[in-house]
Amino acid sequence: MSKLPPPDLADLITRRRWLLRLGETVALAGVSGVIPKAVAKPLAMATTPNATALPPGLYLPSADHLAHALEITTRPYITRPGSETEYAQFISGPYEPQFFSHQDFQIVTRLVEIILGQVSPAALSQTAQWVDFWVYSATGVLKAAQQLDPLHRSLAVAYYGETTVTDLETSNPQLVARQGIAVLHELSAARYGEGFLQITEPRQMELIDSIRAAKTEDPLRQFFDLIFKETVFGYYTSAEGLKELDYKGNTYHGQCPGCAV
């Protein structure tokens, strides 16, 4: 779906950096890196001959597992046969939009750029790709929601409430996107005599401001809100977005994070 981020960005939130940071390290056979003694010693003790004789499904903490965990940050991620996890795939060459036409995808990319400002070309492209992929996937979600077994639907209503479930069964992001793009074309042409991509940046911003000021049921407002929401999700789940947030989770900490006060 999307191009994976360059290694220098991806590595920033990895355990490898954390491990190196600790200083108190020891090389452990089979691990392409270093791990702290505090972890290495019990791991080494756990890797006993008996451990290899365990029935399938049982495991002990081991260097093999840690090595695998360390490898995860390399590219591409190698999916183990039988894995039920869907990992992001590499693409080589230019991205082929799955829902939007090439021209409309340029408009989406420009809207993402307006929302995010100056981000790297890779992050901009990946975020726009996420928006395209999410809209593309929406039809399957809509159909699945409409085909929920009555018993399962009743459970969803009890859990989320009728309004949320009805929204899931009726919201059509592809329709919102199609209508939104069309109305954007019309509005831009009517106001400025040119398409959205052809008008100047101040005029683009003028249009966006008027769209954001419109009522929530306005088709263009709905379209922009959709693009905004998925841009936030797409960017802040990317390597660059997480780095920008200085996110300090999903990593190795030497001590329990907590209040320093």
Partner 1 sequence: MAVRKRELHDVMVVGSGASGGWVAKEVAERGLSVLMLEAGPPRNPTRDFTEHIAPYQLKFRGFGNQEQLLRTQPVQRLCYACDEYSHQFFVNDLEHPYTFSTDKPFMWIRGRQVGGKTFCWARESYRYSDNEFKAASRDGYGEDWPITYQEIEPYYDRVEAFIGVSGSYEKLPQLPDGKFLPPMKLSCGGVLAKQVIEHKFGWRVMPDRVANLTVPHRGRPACHYCDQCQRGCFTASYFNSPSVTLPAAAQTGKFTLVSDAVVSHLLIGKDGQAKGFHYIDRVTDEHREAYARVVVLAAGALESTRILLNSQSSSYPQGVGNSEGVLGRYLMDHFTIEGAGGNISSLGSARREETGRPCGFLIPKYVNTSDQQQNHSFLRGYRFDGDGSQELYDHAFGMPELGNAFRKKVREEIPYYFAIEAQGECLPRADNRVTLDHTRKDAWGIPVLHIDASYGENEKAMATAMRNDITAILDEMKLSHVTPPKAELSIFGKNIHECGTARMGNDTKKSVVDRNCKVHDINNVFVTDGAVFATQGCYEPTLTIMAISARAGEHIAQGFRRGEL
For partner 1, the binding residues in 124-183 under the rule CB under 8 A are 126, 130, 137, 140-141, 143-145, 147-152, 154-156, 158-159
Binders of partner 1 among 223-252, rule CB under 8 A? Answer: 229, 232-234, 236-239, 241-242, 244-252
**Contact partners, residue 106, CB within 8 Å, separation at least 6:** 197
Residues binding partner 1: number (CB under 8 A): 99
Judged by CB under 8 A, the stretch of 94-102, 111-119, 181-189, 190-198 that binds partner 1 is 111-119
Q: Which of 23, 82, 94, 193 binds partner 1 (CB under 8 A)?
A: 82
Q: What are phi and psi of 260, to 5 degrees?
A: -80, -10
Give CA–CA dist 17/251, Å, rounded: 9
Q: Which of 23, 56, 121, 202 binds partner 1 (CB under 8 A)?
A: 56
Q: Least CB distance from residue 143 to partner 1, whole Å?
A: 8
Q: Give the dihedral sign, CA 185/190/191/197.
A: positive
Cβ atoms of 255 and 142 within 8 Å: the answer is no
Binders of partner 1 among 204-223, rule CB under 8 A? Answer: 205, 208
- The number of angstroms, rounded, from the C-alpha of 124 to the middle of its chain's C-alpha atoms is 13
Judged by CB under 8 A, the stretch of 23-31, 74-82, 171-179, 183-191 that binds partner 1 is 74-82
Which residue's structure tokens are 């890797």?
A: 47
Which residue's structure tokens are 């990895």?
A: 14
